[in-house]
Structure 1
Amino acid sequence: MENVAILVDGAFFIKRALHIFGKLTPDELASKLCSYSEKHLARDRKGERNKLYRIFFYDCPPLQNKVFHPYHQQQIDMAKSERSIWRLQFHDELRKKRKMALRLGRIDDINVTWRINYDKIKKLCSGRLKWHDLKEEDFSMDVKQKGVDMRIGIDITSLALKKQVTQIVLISGDSDFVPAAKFARREGIDFILDPMWAPIKEDLYEHIDGLRSTFPKPCNKKKLESSY
């Protein structure tokens, strides 16, 4: 029987879950995370279900300060935004779940930037679109998370060294985990990646022991814009 730890890259998970399920309440998404994570607990040859050690969820608290919005040309209070309120409620729901460990980094609230939809940039450059034709949804905030990748790496290393688990499932689509994954595999850990059906780079296959997505496969539909 395997002792399984499930590590979740929070920002990646929320974005993919929105693409798969559509907009959900904090409680609904927290419940789906638990239910689909438990699908990784397969049964062994004797029919015994593998044991869940813990679900580790890595994220950052949302911005709570005021930032200048280029579309509205004014300061907006992010603490009162729907996105911020939803994220904090989601974290609270996760704290209520059994065997859930919330690992929070921090947001770089100094170097906040804004991006314009790439398709709109191409149209602006070609003259097919004018600046006054842009809409609010064409702008997205770009904020950097601090300490999340470090916490994932530390926990993978600690779990492997202390022999607390025999299998680690990482829900992510990033390649930043590779050094920690290589270390865990050298320590005899079975390392599984769940990218929630997102495509991964070909060279990632050599650094994992298996690829398995337990979430529903997304339909071929227009990508939803995140409000989380």
Structure 2
Amino acid sequence: MDKTAVFIDNGYLKKVQDEMKIRVDYEKFSNEIVGNGDGRFRTYVYDCPPFQSNPPTPEEIKRKSGFDKFKYNITRLPRFEFRTGRLQQLRDDHGNVIQKSDGTPMLKQKGIDMALGIDVTKLSATKQIQKIIIVAGDSDFIPAIIAAKQEGILVTLYYSAGTFLHDSLYEVCDDRVIITNELMSKCIRAFPQ
């Protein structure tokens, strides 16, 4: 039975890949973390397109093109869905854009956690799944995890010891698995995704 759904916050997984200097094949990664005992219902990948100034710089155009190619390739994998959020510039109390030390604007993802929470809640409430695997580090969708658990869904968190992990997310999940170099090495991407 295909009763396990995988939810990937791609901003988080990109940090894990950068930390380990490994690029994974998302289909291999999803199948590896689901394992042989459970079937994979579907994998949901959540990400935002990169920031584009007006007009965009050549580097921003290149990053956007890479994002579009990644999204295109993910959506063509079997049983994969791609959910897109947006980036918002952070502003101070006076409405001025807050900038990093290099002069680029500070940005925050918007819509990703809400989309992930809605998908978790909907699939759980309609009994389409029995188990959830989450690859993430922040706590914004904890209410959705709690709702899923109340529906009898088992929730497993995959996380990296080297990247940020919110304590509340760790505590609310039923099981926790550290993403190791060994796991990532089993899923190395053979060509760009």
1:151 aligns with: 115
Contact 2:9 2:135 in 1 (8 A): yes
Matched, 1:57 2:40: no
1:206 aligns with: 171
- Partner secondary structure for residue 66 of structure 1: coil
1:39 aligns with: 32
Structure 1: gaps of 5 or more residues: 44-48, 68-74, 117-137, 219-228
How many residues are paired up? Answer: 177
Summarize the alignment of residues 181-200 of structure 1 with structure 2, pairs less than 5 Å apart: 181-197=145-161, 198=163, 200=165
2:72 aligns with: 92
1:133 aligns with: none
User: Structure 1's 114 and 89: CA in aligned 2 closer, same or farther, altered over 3 A?
Assistant: farther
Cα drift, residue 60 of structure 1: 1.5
Matched, 1:163 2:127: yes
1:76 aligns with: 57
Counterpart of 1:106 in structure 2: which amino acid? R
User: Structure 1's 66 and 199: CA in aligned 2 closer, same or farther, altered over 3 A?
Assistant: closer
Counterpart of 2:181 in structure 1: which amino acid? P
2: distance between equivalents of 1:39 and 1:196? 16
2:8 aligns with: 8
1: distance between equivalents of 2:52 and 2:170? 39
Using the aligned pairs only, state the percent identity: 28
2: distance between equivalents of 1:216 and 1:34? 17
1: distance between equivalents of 2:168 and 2:109? 25
Cα drift, residue 110 of structure 1: 8.4
User: Once the two structures are superposed, what CA deviation does each residue of 1:27-77 show, in whole Å capped at 9, x if it has no partner?
Assistant: xx4x2x22122112234xxxxx3110000001122233337xxxxxxx835
1:216 aligns with: 181
2:82 aligns with: 102
User: Structure 1's 108 and 216: CA in aligned 2 closer, same or farther, altered over 3 A?
Assistant: same
Contact 2:8 2:44 in 1 (8 A): yes
Cα drift, residue 89 of structure 1: 1.7
Structure 2: gaps of 5 or more residues: 92-96, 184-193
Match of 1:142 among 97, 103, 106: 106
Counterpart of 1:99 in structure 2: which amino acid? R
Contact 1:178 1:207 in 2 (8 A): yes
Contact 1:105 1:147 in 2 (8 A): yes
User: Once the two structures are superposed, what CA deviation does each residue of 1:100-142 show, in whole Å capped at 9, x if it has no partner?
Assistant: 10011222268664313xxxxxxxxxxxxxxxxxxxxx56652
Cα drift, residue 158 of structure 1: 0.2
Relative to the length of structure 2, the TM-score reads 0.78
Contact 1:167 1:190 in 2 (8 A): yes
- Partner secondary structure for residue 115 of structure 1: coil
- Partner secondary structure for residue 99 of structure 2: strand
Matched, 1:114 2:78: no
Cα drift, residue 167 of structure 1: 0.3
Matched, 1:66 2:54: yes
